[in-house]
Structure 1
Amino acid sequence: MGDGSESGVATAQPKELDVILKGVDMTDEMRSHACACARAAFQEHTVEKNIAEYIKKEFDAKYGQSWHCIVGRNFGTRIILVLPSSSCA
């Protein structure tokens, strides 16, 4: 095909993903890290479960364990918090 390309097919550079955070309680640094993690996760994975696992592991490593990450359009959740009872004598 005379255009110098190997296959004759143009390839596009990956577009940077837009990240929208809604209702977060994080520092600016954490928000920035969350956006960077989300972009990296979406570039590396296509399955929502794997994307969530990637982001969770990144946050666990940097900020300590017990982070939860939900990725997807439709999900339901039920969270119950059980606090240890303190005995009053």
Structure 2
Amino acid sequence: MGLEEERAKLERAADELERRSRYLSDLIQQQRRSRGDGRAGEGKERMAAGEEVLVVVKEQGPTEEKQRKRIVDGGRAGSVDPKEQQHPSNIRVRAADMPLELQRRAFRCARQVLGSMPKLDSKRLALTLKKEFDSTYGPAWHCIVGTSFGSYVTHSLGGFLYFSVDKVHILLFRTAVEPLEK
């Protein structure tokens, strides 16, 4: 199979995934409206413990489109305008599926490291956040830092935070780790 055929196949798969995601989001909204609890921007959907949640974050650099993002917070899902997720020191939550306590720890750690740097060192910031979360909350944390990047990740429930501090974007997420069989 040629490279072009592979690319076309991947594009079709990505389109199908996006179509299904939109379909599921529409179904959830219809259910909320039919139950009468579908206030704009607030959802009450419950998820089973241990369920993985797929979040797609598309970044377009300085010309980033303003759009409503789907976030998951403490077992509840809903759409929240990123402007509503403002925090002090120019911190803006873009998408989250993480308890507030862990979010605050990530914000504090990011502010400390960024404050100690004369210029941005993305690798150092990513390493510091990863080590902090690995040592405090267990293994398998991953961190991506930059001013413009794209990502497509699957994370463990309650272990995803995508935020920015000024123009630096930080993606911190956890994946499930299973012990090796002996």
Tell me the TM-score normalised to structure 2 length: 0.32
Aligned to 2:95: 23
Return the structure number with greater strand share: 2
Distance 1:26 1:78 in 2: 17
Higher relative contact order (CA 8 A, sep 6+): 2
Q: Aligned ranges for residues 1-89 of structure 1 at < 5 Å?
A: 17-45=89-117, 46-77=120-151
Identity, % of aligned positions: 37
Query: How large is the Cα RMSD of the aligned pairs?
Result: 2.4
Q: Could you list the runs of 5+ residues in structure 1 that have no partner in the other structure? A: 1-15, 81-89
Structure 1 outlier segments of 4+, above 6 Å: none
Give unmatched runs, 5+ long, in structure 2.
1-87, 155-182
C-alpha distance in 2 between matches for 1:60 and 1:18: 26
Q: Which of these two proteins has the greater Rg computed from alpha carbons?
A: 1
TM-score (norm 1): 0.61
Aligned AA for 1:67?
Answer: W
Letter paired with 1:36: R
Count residues with an aligned counterpart. Answer: 66
